[in-house]
Structure 1
Amino acid sequence: MRLKKCLIVLVAFCALLLLLAGCTAKVSEKTGNKGETENKTLAIGLAQFPGNLDPADQYNGWYVVKFGVGETLVKIGKDMKVEPWLAETWKKVDDLTWQIKIRDNVIFHNGTKVTGEAVKASLERTVAMNKRASQLLDIASIEVNGNEITVKNNRPNPSFIPTLADPFAVIVDVAAARAMGEEFAKKPVATGPFKIKGYAKDVEVVVEKNDNYWGSKPKLDEVVFKFIPDSNTRVMALQAGEIQVADNIPAESVGSIVKAGSYQILSGSSLRTHMLIFNVTKPGLDDVNVRKAINMAINREDLANKVMKESAIPATGPFPHVLPFGGGELKGYAYQPEEAKKLLDAAGWKPGPDGVRRKNDRKLEFSVLCYKNRPELPVLLEAIQAELKEIGVKINIINVENIGEALKKDFDATIYSLNTAPYGDPQYLLETVFKTGAASNFGKYSNPGLDSLIDSLKTEFDVQKRNSIAREAQQIVLGDAAFAFLVYPKCFLAVSDEVEGIQVFPSDFIIYII
């Protein structure tokens, strides 16, 4: 029996978190007596996995959409423009008010019709559960008129409609969530082309075709998403034929995969930035001159071209250069280790007998969290560790299994990877990472002037002016050196020749299989 090629449309748009997010795939088909093909199954292995399947909980919605289970009112296309999804149309009534018409042919996985009331309940549940949603959507009230909802913001919110594409806004059946209790986080009731068949935490998620899907019918009967966090294991699974697509391929593995034959490597620019986040409340790291010196001691050209073997672009600021408000025009940090040493000297951090600088008997030593789901991060951090040693700064690398949980606790610094502009707009990152008290401001960074500048985006609807504000905000962030922006990674996807139709787009949190 010969495996037929299966069309997989992989649409990656909008990303938090994460990634041309982890994907691997295996297709199997059984043929009936009359030559009919049935039971088409795809197995996908992921480098990262959700804590549960409730889309409103933290970043789990990214996976619920990735699995083809959940849908939002709007989505971001490959051209980074907003497109209809569960919403048919929308319009801005005034600076505070939006009218959104919901498609009238959508039903939840349990057969319940999706109405304006259902959408209202789902959005209100999301805002109540998710801090990012509350901050970014800023909803004052929602009124319902049949299949149309009218949303009022507390303040003007130019990015409101694009923000509805964030997977935290997946539309779910709230009545089912209440009735199911904790089981809902294992089997959410949403609207996507697939519905949950089975879930084993940190092992696999199995989805099956939703025969009542409102849109184009799925071409696959079942998809198995397997958690394969180790990159070498993922590559071996690909080469053993256990999976057909592997994401997050390390640069050093690309050559061997291509040489083995029967595979192709897809790559492209991403909207992701690898960075260091400093906890600015920690002794030593509370000194801006220390943070600037660390930035000056990092050779970003080497990280991109040698450590990552030309699979990344040296970073300037938070946003990749491909974005109109990206880092190309900003003044970043050049590699100047000798100037870094002078800066530390002037700040009173003097070399100790062991080579580690000291000030008032305090060593310039701290720990940096690292996680292996993105295989290049440990390698980057080891290179940075060696570079910082040269200027008298000692870092200890702490590997963690779950970076999300680790960042909820006390830490000195972390290496981290972020999808910076999931909606093609700068407000998301500025609002959620750099603003005082923001949901993902893990390092407790605060600058009141920056906060005010970010707030001005909430009332500015002109795109060019928004881009200008974003560049000004980024320069403030760079001046405070609470972060070290390292590289903008490219995305690599290894695909078996048995699979066709894969596309790689800049942003990266949705695998949409139809």
Structure 2
Amino acid sequence: MRAKKVLVLLTLAVFLVMASGCGKGSSAPSQKETKPLTVGWAQWCTNLDPGDGYNGWYTMEFGMGETLVRVGEGMKIEPWLAESWTRVDEKTWKIKIRDNVKFHNGKILDGAAVKASLERTIGINERAPGLLDIASIEAQGNEVIIKTNNPNPSFMTSLADPFATIVDAEAAEEMGDKFKENPVLTGPFKLKEYVRDERVVVVRNEEYWGKKAELKEVVFKYIPDANTRIMALQSGEIQVADKIPAEQVELLERNKELKVLSESSGRVHMLVFNLERPGLDDINVRKAINMAINRDDLAQKVMSGTGIPAIGPFPPVLPFGGSELKGYHYDPAGAKRLLDEAGWKRGSDGIRQKGGKKLEYTFLSYKSRPELPVIMEAIQSQLLDIGIKIEINNVENISEAMKGGDFDAAIYSFSTAPTGDPQYMLETVFLTGGDNNFGHYSSEKLDALGRKLQSTFDTEERKTIAKEAQQILIDDAAFAFLVYPKIITAVHKDVEGVVITPTEWYFLNSNVGYKG
């Protein structure tokens, strides 16, 4: 009996030692690593090639892509894949690439790879040639020397744009169209699965040059309908939902299982007028529309306080935001007088007309930003009060609809200065012939300021130019700047490390964790 007791005690001791060893030295993954974070995303990529259109926004949001520099706190440029940079002269930049960076396929990132990537981007992205204006790139080991055709003060900030995501250009050449479904990038996460228009699954990059990601796997689901995203969040199907409608914020804040994250954005919701349409080619009509819109109501009532009334295109979160500019105050009586004086008289149906032309239009909207159709309905009512009739047509792809040119006006949400510099929006949206100048606006004075901005390196002077340009845009009333929306994302209480930034690009990073 004594021998049996000793044997039992020895067996128990061995078991306890083994159990203790498993608790301290086990390599078994934690629950945080084994359970993926699932995210509901409102807008979606056409493919995963960062250089193609705006797809770089998504590969960066999904934690896969990185640029040479990034927009940091205070909307200032900071190092990322580039360790440092120097402006040699007005047309020459020397950039030092960070050591020990590997692509997802194990290839080392060096100056030659950066050169090949940027040259590829310039060849396939319609915005890149104008914004970067590169004449030549020379690779020297872990450095690149880049010469621009003209002085380009916004060159380094333009390198933060996701179209400049660094890719393995050799792999892209070898893979052809397959690269669009499986890009070779450098970020803390790499692709596991891509199902077009449905989901993207990424996994931790174990050879990442920086801090290893907290999460092992993240699933991004394309859920364009806001109500469906919210129901999926409440049911636990997803743990993150982006672009929360303003009217749902209070409801979600009452849910103790959820957290609502809100941050000022660098975005503006605005109306783009097609200046080739009869009536809208009259500045008095456009000014009357601006005066008839109650921006305070849009921000406080329609958007439940999640918007800021807009003056010009740039919101106050930016150092050149136009809080002191002279904008349009809500003045429906003044709008009516202006239309009367311009010869636009009400007909028997209450709609204004002149020379046989009625002020009847179809305004485009889209639902992937759920507040936009609601804003449009409010504007529809406000314009009817002054004698302008609006029909609303919700479309799937607002940019493509406007590019076709067959539209009267459209509500459009634009990220105004995602790299922290005003030149981006001025060149692409407002200058004559800009890629996103859908309404065919043209101003010699604004073009002159745009050219001045293109050769001005002094930061304070650039701010002054940007404010002068905004006042011209306001005075010409070719657009109606409505509200600056806040970014609203809802997450499960066990999700950690999500930081909402004005650029909207840097959602998934190494610090995001999930304790569920």
TM-score (norm 1): 0.91
1:309 and 2:297 are equivalent in the alignment: no
Match for 2:260: what amino acid?
I
1:426 and 2:425 are equivalent in the alignment: no
- What's the CA shift string for 1:425-453, capped at 9, x where partnerless? 21111111111111111111111221110
State the Cα distance separating 1:334 from its structure 2 match: 0.9
Which of 289, 296, 303 aligns to 2:291? It is 296
- What's the CA shift string for 1:80-131, capped at 9, x where partnerless? 1111111111100001100011123112112222221111111111112222
Which of 317, 339, 342 aligns to 1:344? It is 339
- What's the CA shift string for 1:290-330, capped at 9, x where partnerless? 11111011011111111111111111111112322112110
Please give the alpha-carbon distance, in whole angstroms, between the structure 2 residues aligned to 1:83 and 1:439. Answer: 27
Name the SS for the 2:446 alignment partner.
Answer: helix
1:320 and 2:315 are equivalent in the alignment: yes
Name the SS for the 1:417 alignment partner.
Answer: strand
Partner of 2:502: 506
State the Cα distance separating 1:408 from its structure 2 match: 2.2
Partner of 1:226: 221
Which of 48, 54, 58 aligns to 1:59? It is 54
1:212 and 2:211 are equivalent in the alignment: no
Structure possessing the higher relative contact order (Cα contacts under 8 Å, 6 or more residues apart): 1
TM-score (norm 2): 0.91
State the Cα distance separating 1:40 from its structure 2 match: 4.0
State the Cα distance separating 1:286 from its structure 2 match: 1.3
- Specify the structure having the higher radius of gyration (Cα): 2
Which of 447, 453, 456 aligns to 1:460? It is 456
- What's the CA shift string for 1:137-191, capped at 9, x where partnerless? 1111111111211111111111111110000000111121121111111111111
1:189 and 2:184 are equivalent in the alignment: yes
1:484 and 2:480 are equivalent in the alignment: yes
Please give the alpha-carbon distance, in whole angstroms, between the structure 1 residues aligned to 2:352 and 2:454. Answer: 44
Please give the alpha-carbon distance, in whole angstroms, between the structure 1 residues aligned to 2:509 and 2:194. Answer: 18
Which of 468, 474, 477 aligns to 1:472? It is 468
State the Cα distance separating 1:499 from its structure 2 match: 1.3
State the Cα distance separating 1:39 from its structure 2 match: 2.7
1:138-177 matches, within 5 Å, as: 138-177=133-172
CA 1:33–1:82 in 2, change beyond 3 Å: closer, same or farther?
Answer: closer
Name the SS for the 2:75 alignment partner.
Answer: coil
Number of corresponding residues = 483
Partner of 2:237: 242
Please give the alpha-carbon distance, in whole angstroms, between the structure 1 residues aligned to 2:163 and 2:388. Answer: 39
Please give the alpha-carbon distance, in whole angstroms, between the structure 2 residues aligned to 1:312 and 1:216. Answer: 35
Partner of 2:329: 334
Partner of 1:4: none
1:121-140 matches, within 5 Å, as: 121-140=116-135
State the Cα distance separating 1:407 from its structure 2 match: 2.3
Please give the alpha-carbon distance, in whole angstroms, between the structure 2 residues aligned to 1:207 and 1:214. Answer: 17
Partner of 1:411: 407
* Runs of 4+ displaced beyond 6 Å: none
Please give the alpha-carbon distance, in whole angstroms, between the structure 2 residues aligned to 1:433 and 1:105. Answer: 39
Does the 8 Å CA contact 2:76/2:420 hold for their aligned counterparts? yes
State the Cα distance separating 1:495 from its structure 2 match: 1.8
Deviates more, 1:377-386 or 1:453-462: 453-462
Partner of 2:6: none
Does the 8 Å CA contact 2:271/2:411 hold for their aligned counterparts? yes
Deviates more, 1:339-348 or 1:43-52: 339-348
Name the SS for the 2:316 alignment partner.
Answer: coil
Please give the alpha-carbon distance, in whole angstroms, between the structure 2 residues aligned to 1:407 and 1:100. Answer: 38
1:106-117 matches, within 5 Å, as: 106-117=101-112
Give me the identity figure in percent. 61
Does the 8 Å CA contact 2:242/2:490 hold for their aligned counterparts? yes
Please give the alpha-carbon distance, in whole angstroms, between the structure 1 residues aligned to 2:283 and 2:53. Answer: 31
State the Cα distance separating 1:256 from its structure 2 match: 1.6
Please give the alpha-carbon distance, in whole angstroms, between the structure 2 residues aligned to 1:35 and 1:156. Answer: 55
Please give the alpha-carbon distance, in whole angstroms, between the structure 2 residues aligned to 1:34 and 1:315. Answer: 54
Partner of 1:358: 353
1:375-386 matches, within 5 Å, as: 375-386=370-381
Partner of 2:20: none
Name the SS for the 2:403 alignment partner.
Answer: coil
Partner of 2:11: none
Match for 1:210: what amino acid?
N
Partner of 1:96: 91
Please give the alpha-carbon distance, in whole angstroms, between the structure 1 residues aligned to 2:363 and 2:332. Answer: 20
Match for 1:490: what amino acid?
K
Match for 2:435: what amino acid?
A
Partner of 2:12: none
CA 1:110–1:501 in 2, change beyond 3 Å: closer, same or farther?
Answer: closer
Partner of 1:438: 434
CA 1:500–1:208 in 2, change beyond 3 Å: closer, same or farther?
Answer: closer
Please give the alpha-carbon distance, in whole angstroms, between the structure 2 residues aligned to 1:111 and 1:172. Answer: 12
State the Cα distance separating 1:347 from its structure 2 match: 2.0
1:371 and 2:366 are equivalent in the alignment: yes
Please give the alpha-carbon distance, in whole angstroms, between the structure 2 residues aligned to 1:449 and 1:79. Answer: 30
Please give the alpha-carbon distance, in whole angstroms, between the structure 2 residues aligned to 1:262 and 1:292. Answer: 47
State the Cα distance separating 1:268 from its structure 2 match: 2.3
Deviates more, 1:504-513 or 1:451-460: 504-513
Please give the alpha-carbon distance, in whole angstroms, between the structure 1 residues aligned to 2:349 and 2:262. Answer: 44
Match for 1:249: what amino acid?
I
1:70 and 2:80 are equivalent in the alignment: no
Name the SS for the 1:470 alignment partner.
Answer: helix
Name the SS for the 2:333 alignment partner.
Answer: helix
Please give the alpha-carbon distance, in whole angstroms, between the structure 2 residues aligned to 1:437 and 1:197. Answer: 40
Please give the alpha-carbon distance, in whole angstroms, between the structure 2 residues aligned to 1:35 and 1:149. Answer: 43
State the Cα distance separating 1:504 from its structure 2 match: 2.7
